[in-house]
A and B are shown apart, each in its own frame.
Chain A
Amino acid sequence: MNGPDDEFDDFLSRRKPLFRRPADDLQPPEEIDRVVLRRAREAIEIERPQRAFRGANWGAPLAIAATLLVVFTVVLHFMQPSSKAVPEVTVQQVAQPVAAASPTVTTPAWRNDSQSWLAQIEKLRAAGRNAEADAELAAYKREHRALAVDPNR
């Protein structure tokens, strides 16, 4: 049987075309091809940076590690035994107290000459200032002993 129904069924199942179709060269313009492909590319390129930001799996561990490192360093710093701070010593700092503590002491003129020194001791004794006389005598003896030890003086 080869009725209209069979013919239509053949058409439906594409076994027998109703119209013989030569090669169909109807194509979209190249400009439209470029526009569509550009849109498609732009769509996924816009998406990529967002994905990279969202999907940075290493970002969180890195941040945690950095934080831990900073905390550990700070804790370690404060747990170290505190060494006493050594003040900086300068020439000025040393010189000022020494100058303040030792006012200029002028040696009496009679100490420059042993005869005068001994005469002064006698004067002190005569005046009853025996303690001063003894101190001067002791000083006299130290001085002259030192001279005996150090011949260069």
Chain B
Amino acid sequence: MNAALITMDAATSPETPARFAPRKLARKVELVSDDEDAQLMLAYASGEMRAFETLYSRHRAALYRYLVRQARDGEIANDLFQEVWSRVIANRARYEPRAKFRTFLFTLAYNCFIDHCRRVKARPGGLGIEDADAADLLPADEDGRPEAVLQRDECSRRYRAALAKLPPEQRDVYLLHEESELSLEEIARVTGVGAETAKSRLRYAVGKLKAALAAAEQP
């Protein structure tokens, strides 16, 4: 198991005993000198609240969008959002920055969502969300004409339908790519599959969404 996975395992199991003893700050900073977020996380672990505030302000919106689009339910997304940050807080002492903080954060988010699906014994399907944000992915149309609004709504409906029809694995990969801005290798690590598998899933997801939007744009 590589170092990044060790870090993520520790982070996703807050109840488990501290298998990974925290090291001194200097050593940790040395490991992640290129990841400012990781240094902020270490600073928070050593008691600096301002570091957490910076970290939170940087990632809150992207994480929230990811969870809203995954859960397609505002209330569930709110709960999951709080749970993810609670795990970040709970794991601050065990945090070892051997991967980017963003990878760590979205691993928590992904696992929280999977845990939620296991609890409810289903993954969300259909068009349960009133997600105006889905329309943001559509071609921008600032024209307020009724026909343009109707066309944009239709595109949005088709897009959401296409997103909902995606197999969960493809949707996971696609949303991680869109919201977390992780690399394909990092997405593969988060979802626990090989990089080629992740790439293939992403390719299928993008193809289906593109086709859905193309159909919506046709008059």
Main secondary structure of the interface of B (DSSP, over half): helix
Q: How many residues on A have C-beta within 8 angstroms of the other chain's C-beta atoms?
A: 28
Stretch at the interface among A15-23, A74-82, A132-140: A15-23
Contact A19 B61 (CB under 8 A): no
| Cβ–Cβ < 8 Å partners of B213 in chain A | 19
Q: Which residues of B contact A28 (CB under 8 A)?
A: 60-61, 64, 78, 81
- Contact: B56 with A22, CB < 8 Å? no
Q: Does chain B have a CB within 8 A of A33?
A: yes
CB distance from B134 to the nearest CB of A (A): 10
CB closest residue in chain A, given B184: A12
Interface residues as binary, B173-215 with A (CB distance below 8 Å gives 1, 0 otherwise): 0000100010010000000000000010011001001100100
> Which residue in B44, B65, B82, B137 is a CB contact (below 8 Å) of A36?
B82
State which of B84-92, B100-108, B117-125 sits at the interface with chain A: B84-92
Q: Are B65 and A26 in contact (CB under 8 A)?
A: yes
* A113 contacts chain B at the CB level, 8 A cutoff: no
Bound: A43/B41 CA distance, A: 14
Q: A-B pairs with CB below 8 Å: how many? A: 77
Q: Nearest-CB distance from A99 to chain B (Å)?
A: 83
Check A44/B44 contact, CB under 8 A, given A12-B202, A18-B206, A18-B209: yes
Q: A12-41 interface mask toward B, CB cutoff 8 Å, 1 = contact, 0 = none? A: 101000111111101111001101110111
B49 and A44 contact, CB distance less than 8 A: yes
> Which residue of A24, A33, A40 has the most chain B CB atoms within 10 A of its CB atom?
A40
Give which listed residue, A14, A19, A40, contacts B138 with CB less than 8 A: A19
What are 14 residue pairs bridging A and B, where the CB atoms are less than 8 Å apart in the complex? Answer: A14-B181, A18-B209, A20-B140, A22-B140, A24-B65, A26-B61, A26-B136, A27-B64, A37-B52, A37-B53, A39-B89, A41-B49, A43-B89, A51-B47
Further pairs besides A28-B64, A39-B86, A40-B89: 12, Cβ < 8 Å: A19-B209, A21-B137, A22-B140, A23-B136, A26-B64, A26-B65, A36-B56, A37-B56, A40-B44, A41-B49, A44-B49, A48-B47
